[in-house]
Amino acid sequence: MMVERSGWRVKSVRLWLPLGAYMIFTLFPFYWMAVTSLKPNSELYNRRIMPLIVYHPTLKHYADLLSQTNFLEWTWNTLLVATVSTAISLVFGVMLAYPLARMRFAGSALVAFGVAATYLVPQPLLFIPLADIITKLGLNDTLTSVILTYPTLLIPFCAWLLMGYFRSVPHELEDAARIDGATRLQTMFRVFLPLCTPGFISAGIFAFTLAQNEFLYALIFLTQTDVRTVPVGAIAELVKGDVFYWGQLMAAALLGSVPVAIIYSFFVEHYVAGLTAGAVKQ
């Protein structure tokens, strides 16, 4: 929409009022995490005082979280699993996307359809058979179980995103390399792929956040505390029966969100490009 008269009244009604309301809705849970994690228990469980303010901030919950639980180990597991499965997915994604985007061969339409279909297979359709398969392979309670299965969620996405990116690169450089006698593999690795770094960053950052976010497989495959990821660890070990350690839970929620938020903040543009790539043709 255009703003013809951009007086501050018009602007505040059309822009700042709705945007402000939405930002409060969006950001409140993060504020609530931060406030809760800093409250002593005496304030946390007091129904009388105003809950949005901390009167006597304390870092006790953070200290407890880091000393009494395996939070640091969960964080390490999460980062390790997310990094490795993202790397695997990027490699396989390129192997799918390069031929599909740049070559002509019999069966390409079928493979492209298969990749798209795989992306749309709902995860709940797979977790029961996968649980049985993982048990039979003896991979329960190993990080290998999730490192193997996360790429199934990430590869179709990476391939799809990279295909879009690859198609936008002009053919001239590759043709020149081919005429000069370079093999197809050389052309791909030395000439083509270096041109596509932004595409890799988009796909990588998106895959990484997806892997960090995964919960269902981790919940089923990882039942020992030393192999858990942050989401599963928080749910399974900071909630004991009906007792919720809210201070620690909120500290864990905040700390667990920080790594991905930091990485994301460096690559917002790439992330947005990846997010919108499937739906919007630039």
Residue numbers 222-261 binding other proteins by CB under 8 A? 230-232, 234-235, 244, 246, 249-250, 252-253, 256-257, 260-261
Q: How far is CA 71 from the centre of its chain?
A: 19
- Per CB under 8 A, the list member of 24, 27, 72, 137 interacting with other proteins is 27
Report whether 74 contacts 233 (CB < 8 A): yes
Count the Cβ atoms, other than its own, within 10 Å of residue 156.
22
Asked if residue 81 binds other proteins (CB under 8 A), the reply is: no
Residue numbers 140-179 binding other proteins by CB under 8 A? 148-149, 151-152, 155-156, 159, 176-177, 179
Asked if residue 138 binds other proteins (CB under 8 A), the reply is: no
- Per CB under 8 A, the list member of 40, 44, 87, 144 interacting with other proteins is 44
Question: Can you tell me the distance from the alpha carbon of 61 to that of 41, in angstroms, rounded to the nearest whole number?
Answer: 9
Asked if residue 279 binds other proteins (CB under 8 A), the reply is: yes
Which of 85, 89, 80 shows the shortest CA–CA distance to 200?
89
- Per CB under 8 A, the list member of 220, 221, 222, 270 interacting with other proteins is 220
Segment interacting with other proteins, rule: CB under 8 A, options 56-64, 68-76, 163-171, 213-221 = 213-221
- Per CB under 8 A, the list member of 99, 139, 142, 195 interacting with other proteins is 99
Place of tokens 């450089």: 173
Report whether 155 contacts 87 (CB < 8 A): no
User: For 99, phi and psi rounded to 5 degrees?
Assistant: -65, -40
Asked if residue 92 binds other proteins (CB under 8 A), the reply is: yes
Question: Can you tell me the distance from the alpha carbon of 230 to that of 234, in angstroms, rounded to the nearest whole number?
Answer: 6
